[in-house]
Amino acid sequence: MSSKREQLAQWSTLVADTGDMEAIRTLTPQDATTNPSLLLAVAQDTRHAALLDDAGHLARQLGRDDSLALRCDAFATLTGQVILGTIPGLVSTEVDARLSFDTLATVERARGLIALYRELGVDTDRILIKIAATWEGIQAAAILEQEGIRCNLTLVFCLEQALAAAQHCATLISPFVGRIYDWHVKRGLEVSGPDNDPGVQSVREIFHTLKSQGLDTIVMGASFRTVTQVEALSGCDRLTISPALLEALHADHSPLTRQLDASEVPLGEATPLLSEAAFRWAINDNPMASDLLSDGIRRFARDQEALEQLLA
């Protein structure tokens, strides 16, 4: 019997949720995702000290050695370049989370990341620009997608975020399983299995809704806590999984059953285009989504600031 990882890869594209280049080389995923927290971990690892120097050199080469923002983006793109050398697919690189409520600033920063990748000779068709799924972030993604810059809308915690991103033609969305699970468990929910796991159920709802409406946006389950959560979403378009869980799937050779299949989702009526007011009310009226979106942005912003201090 093949491993559960091999079985899973028949139905879902596997993505490494790490910036650790050694782990990526060992795990050989199709794609990889990064974020400020993962990049900070790379920057603090002495094995990758040369990347910090290279980021400063690239900033000086571009005549902007005084820009911490440019140094951080240079470090992110240099890390992305190394990762792309070890995987066949895509890498996601995130815009500074502190711009999550500024559409035009997000667009400009994303264009800058793509320009840096081009400066490094990287094929930008292999890059996804990662943006928080705020209303402003979704509008920025719509502009970038029209320019041919593909986007990954992250920190998705409810159906309305997913729908708005898909309606604005985002290439990919990342609904978070583990953080939704954590939020409910902290409030006393007893989770006895995937059918009672609010994180798993959220991604299943998003997957079925987008597929039933014929929306092309890729659904990538993210932020897993357990192998059981991963298995419960087998068949989702993509799954971004930590090295520890990928290794656990590789070591397990028991049978795995497919849970999601887009070809079996019947087409239904399209949801009307979500307005800004409807989107904002939906987030406001959902304590879990409101809490987790704000908390996720704050966490990424703090790690961005820590990365800046390392590069200063």
Write a three-state SS string for the chain.
CCCHHHHHHCCCEEEEECCCHHHHHHHCCCEEECCHHHHHHHHCCHHHHHHHHHHHHHHHHCCCCCCHHHHHHHHHHHHHHHHHCCCCCCEEEECCHHHCCCHHHHHHHHHHHHHHHHHCCCCHHHEEEEEECCHHHHHHHHHHHHCCCCEEEEEECCHHHHHHHHHCCCCEEEEECHHHHHHHHHCCCCCCCHHHCHHHHHHHHHHHHHHHCCCCCEEEEECCCCHHHHHHCCCCCEEEECHHHHHHHHHCCCCCCCCCCHHHCCCCCCCCCCCHHHHHHHHHCCHHHHHHHHHHHHHHHHHHHHHHHHHC
The reported pLDDT for the residue numbered 193 is: 87
Contact residues for 244 (Cβ-Cβ < 8 A; gap 6+): none
The tens place of each residue's pLDDT in the chain, 312 residues long, gives 799 999 999 999 999 998 788 889 898 999 999 889 989 998 898 888 888 898 888 888 887 767 889 999 999 999 999 999 999 999 999 999 999 999 999 999 999 999 999 999 999 999 999 999 999 999 999 999 999 999 999 999 999 999 999 999 999 999 999 999 999 999 998 888 888 999 999 999 999 999 999 999 999 999 999 999 999 999 999 999 999 999 999 999 999 999 999 999 999 988 899 999 999 999 999 999 999 999 999 999 999 999 999 888
The reported pLDDT for the residue numbered 192 is: 84
The answer to whether the CB of 94 falls within 8 A of the CB of 79 is no
The reported pLDDT for the residue numbered 154 is: 98
Measured CA to CA, the distance from residue 270 to residue 182 in angstroms comes to 32
Domain range enclosing 45: 4-311
The reported pLDDT for the residue numbered 258 is: 98
Tally the domains of the chain.
Answer: 1
By annotation, the residues acting in catalysis are: 130
Structure tokens at 233: 């979403």
The reported pLDDT for the residue numbered 65 is: 65
| Nearest C-alpha neighbor of 160 from the set 45, 31, 275, 3 | 275
The reported pLDDT for the residue numbered 89 is: 96
- Residue 131 forms beta bridges with which residues? 153
What CATH number is given to the structural domain containing 206? 3.20.20.70
Amino acid at 150: R
Is the torsion defined by CA of 209, 267, 140, 14 positive or negative? positive
